[in-house]
Homo-oligomer: A and B are copies of this chain.
Amino acid sequence: MDNKKIEKISRALSDTNRIAILQEFKKKKDCLYCAEVNDLLDLTQPSVSHHLKQLVDADLLVPQKEGRNFKYLLNETVLNEYIACLNSLKD
Interface residues of A (CB under 8 A from B): 3-4, 6-8, 10-11, 13-16, 19-20, 22-23, 25-26, 74, 76, 79-80, 82-83, 86-91
- Residues on B with C-beta less than 8 A from A7 are 13-16, 19
Q: What would 8 more interface pairs be, CB under 8 Å, given A7-B19, A10-B11?
A: A3-B23, A6-B16, A10-B10, A10-B19, A26-B91, A76-B90, A80-B90, A86-B86
Most buried by B among A6, A22, A80, A88: A6
- Residues on B with C-beta less than 8 A from A26 are 88-89, 91
CB-contact partner of A86 in B8, B20, B82, B90, under 8 A? B82
